[in-house]
């Protein structure tokens, strides 16, 4: 038995909260932003623990095959139809509650202890996760340009402060939670500006 795992949603979204276009990311070339995603989701809270990334089947399909499963992380894919695979780093479940059951069941003997748990999308999975009070944190990369999008993140976070039951945390709290010094200045890559933010649920 284990306490309910805390869930962190990680997402990059435009000012209008757009996250996807035609089954992929709306932008290209944000290599350092993607490197931040990879570092943060990999960095486990203690030696001998492994983080988990939980994603929907469409997000799994959107990841370039050479990067799948996302390395050095336990990958849990939510699908009503995909066949179960049996692999240490990749598992398929039928629903978000089943994914959370997996997290609370593991951590014995040979397999690595459960580290942090990240919800990495897409929109349907973010929406299901936000229904749960365990979803306490959002790591938002706010893209300061408008890209065409056909999919949006299900909660609108204002430019700063508080809104919709969420509160933006400061740089010190972001650094401490992710385990690295995160730039607070506006970032720019291939002409696209963005900012790293952390939000926590008000309760």
Q: Which of residues 70 and 99 has its CB atom nearest to ligand FOL in the complex?
A: 70
Shortest separation between residue 188's beta carbon and ligand FOL, angstroms: 16
Distance of alpha carbon 183 from alpha carbon 181, whole angstroms:
7
Residues in contact with ligand FOL by the rule CB under 6 A = 10-12, 25, 33-34, 37-38, 59, 62-64, 67, 70-71, 120-121, 141
Active site residue 33: yes
Residue 91 burial (CB count, 10 A): 19
Question: Active site residue: 25, 82, 102, 132, which one?
Answer: 25
Shortest separation between residue 121's beta carbon and ligand FOL, angstroms: 5
Shortest separation between residue 61's beta carbon and ligand FOL, angstroms: 10
Which residues, at least 6 apart from 26, have a Cβ–Cβ distance to it below 8 Å?
14, 18, 19, 20, 147, 148, 149
Backbone angle region of 50, left / alpha / beta, with phi > 0 → left and psi within -120 to 50 → alpha: beta
Q: Which of residues 105 and 179 has its CB atom nearest to ligand FOL in the complex?
A: 179
Contact 79, 57 (CB under 8 A): yes
Question: Active site residue: 7, 9, 30, 33, which one?
Answer: 33
Shortest separation between residue 55's beta carbon and ligand FOL, angstroms: 7
Q: Which of residues 185 and 203 has its CB atom nearest to ligand FOL in the complex?
A: 185
Q: Which of residues 103 and 197 has its CB atom nearest to ligand FOL in the complex?
A: 197
Q: Which of residues 105 and 127 has its CB atom nearest to ligand FOL in the complex?
A: 127
Distance of alpha carbon 2 from alpha carbon 8, whole angstroms:
18
Active site residue 162: no
Contact 33, 12 (CB under 8 A): yes
Q: Name the residues annotated as catalytic.
A: 25, 33
């Amino acid at each position: 038995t284990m306490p309910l795992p805390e869930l962190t949603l990680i997402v990059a979204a435009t000012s209008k909260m757009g996250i996807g276009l035609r089954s992929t990311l709306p932008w290209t070339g944000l290599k350092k932003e993607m490197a931040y995603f990879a570092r943060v989701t990999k960095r486990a809270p203690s030696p001998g623990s492994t983080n988990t990334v939980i994603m929907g089947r469409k997000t799994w399909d959107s990841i370039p095959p050479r990067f799948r499963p996302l390395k050095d992380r336990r990958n849990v894919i939510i699908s009503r139809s995909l066949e179960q695979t049996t692999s240490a780093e990749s598992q398929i479940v039928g629903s978000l509650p089943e994914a959370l059951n997996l997290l609370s069941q593991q951590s014995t003997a040979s397999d690595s202890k459960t580290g942090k748990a990240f919800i990495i999308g897409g929109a349907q999975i973010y929406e299901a996760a936000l229904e749960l009070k365990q979803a306490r944190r959002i790591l938002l990369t706010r893209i300061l340009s408008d890209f065409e999008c056909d999919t949006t993140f299900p909660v609108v976070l204002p430019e700063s402060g508080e809104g919709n039951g969420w509160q933006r945390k400061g740089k010190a709290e972001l650094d401490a939670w992710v385990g690295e010094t995160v730039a607070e200045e506006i970032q720019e890559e291939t002409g696209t500006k963005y900012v790293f933010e952390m939000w926590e649920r008000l309760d």
